[in-house]
Amino acid sequence: MQERHVGHSGLQVSRLGLGTMTFGSQVDELEAEDQLTAFLEAGGTFVDTAPVYGEGRAEALVGDLLAKRGVRDDVVLASKAVVGLRRGQVVSDASHGHVLAQLDASLRALRTDHLDLWQLHAWDPLTPWEETLAALEHAVSSGRVRYVGVSNFSGWQVGVARTSATRALGPLLVSHQVEYSLLNRTIEDEVVPAAQHLGLGTIAWSPLARGVLTGKYRSGVPSDSRAAVPQWEHFMAPYLSSECAPVVESVVRAAEGLDVSPAHVALAWVRERPTVATTLLGARTTAQLRTLLASETLDLPAEIVSALDDVSAPHAWED
C-alpha cells in the first residue's frame, strides 16, 4: 500500500487507514483481530481510534491487539481528546486538566508510552483556545505525543488552531480529520482551502457516506444494515434522501463500467482529492474490509472523476 506525507510534515501514513469506531461494540475482539491482521497484511500502517469509540471500549481493544501481535512500532497510532464519556454521556471539554487526563487514560488503554498523532476531537467553544494549546504543547514536550491534529473543525477554527500552534508547536500540528465523501463535500468551501494554505493533511472519515455509496440501500434498507438499527437511524438519514440517489446511481454505473465495486469507485475518488493524506475504512466484517482494501489498486479515469465531480457538486442538487 502506498504511503503519503501528512500535509507539509515528515509524518507518513498509508493512504488507506483503519477506523475503529465500532471496535468493542459492533465488532468483537475476534473480528477486530482479524481486521487488524488483514489491514497489516495489505500494507496498512495508520490506525485511528478515540476514547468514545466502541462505547468506550475501542482503545483498550486496539491496545490489547497491538500488544498481542507485537506490532505497536509498525503502526502510526492515532487517538483523540476533548470529546469523552462521563456517566454514560458524551461531553466536550478542552480544558487543560481534562485534555491531559484524557491523554494519560488513552495511553494506558492503548498500552503505549506515546501517540504518533493526537487529535482534538471537536472544537470546545467554552474553553479558551490558548488553554487547550498549552495542554497540547505540554503533551508534545513531555514526549507523550509526536504530532497533533484537529477533527471536525470549521475553516476558521482550523485557521485559528494552525496559526496559533505555529508559535507553540512549530510544525507539529499537521492534520485535520473530517467527514468527506461524494455525498458530503461541504469541506471544500472553507476547510480544504484552509488546509491547503496552512499545509495540513486531510484524514477523511466516512468516505462511503456511512455505507450508502456501496449501493446497498438503492432498493430499500437491508435488515442487517446500520440503517435498520434504531440508534443509527438519525446518523444514516441525511444520505438516504432522494437528493442523494443520482450520485449513488452514478457511482454504480461507473463501477459497472470499470468492473469493480461501487465502494472502490467512491473510495478512489476521495483518496485522490486535494490534501487527503489517508482515507479511513470501517467495516463490520473482515470480508468487507478486504473488499475495501482492494480499492488501493484502482485509479479512476479522468473522465469518470469529472463526471462524479459534476453530479456530486452541492449546487447540482439544488438545480
| Whole-angstrom distance, CA of residue 192 vs CA of residue 209 | 18
Q: What is the Cα Rg of the chain in Å?
A: 19
- Following DSSP, what letter does each residue of 67-133 receive, concatenated? HHHT-GGGSEEEEEESEEEETTEEEE---HHHHHHHHHHHHHHHT-S-EEEEEE-S--TTS-HHHHH
Residue 239 a catalytic site member: no
CA dist., res. 126 & res. 119, Å (int):
18
Determine the number of helices (DSSP H) and then strands (DSSP E) in the chain: 11, 12
Alpha-carbon distance of 198 to 115, in angstroms, equals 23
SS3 content of the chain, % helix, strand, coil (to 5): 50, 20, 35
Q: Could you say which of 53, 180, 217, 239 is catalytic?
A: 53
For strand 276-281 and strand 16-19, is the pairing parallel, antiparallel, or unpaired? Answer: parallel
Q: Which three cell numbers stand for residue 224?
A: 442487517
DSSP per position, 51-66: TTGGGGTHHHHHHHHH
**3-state SS assignment for residue 242:** coil
Q: How many residues does the chain have?
A: 319
DSSP string spanning 243-271?
TTHHHHHHHHHHHHHHTS-HHHHHHHHHH
As annotated, the active-site residues are 53
